[in-house]
Amino acid sequence: MSEHVDLTDEATLVAALRLTRARIAEHREIEDAIVGKLKDLLGEATEARIGGAPVVTYRWTKPREQVDIKALREEQPEVAKQYTRLAQGSRRFVLLDPTSGEEGAA
């Protein structure tokens, strides 16, 4: 069942969200470029300092174990079924492009 609400009187909120997301995307691009440059400068080092004080660390995380669920379902389908639980769904907020009705537009 699809329910809707008319936001015509609150269109400025949607416009503000689009503008904010566009600005965030621009800042993320800048951030990514700066982080990339710093990573290049660090090379294999795990810490960077300014005036002797640490300002950046770049370390490996610990490896983690995870179950290959696809292989488990193929090789042991009954075991996979026995331990599979349905998780509660969640609502997903998506800003749509008003011209196409598709998601992802800023």
Mean pLDDT of 7-20: 95
For residue 26, the model assigns a pLDDT of: 98
Residues 6+ apart with CB under 8 A from 39: 58
For residue 99, the model assigns a pLDDT of: 80
DSSP output for 54-73: EEEE--PPPP-----HHHHH
Residue owning tokens 């300092």? 49
Rounded Cα distance between 96 and 94, Å, is 6
Domain boundaries, the chain: 8-61
Residue owning tokens 């009954």? 78
Q: 53 - beta bridge partners?
A: 50
Rounded Cα distance between 93 and 6, Å, is 16
List pLDDT tens digits, range 85-104: 999 999 999 999 888 777 76
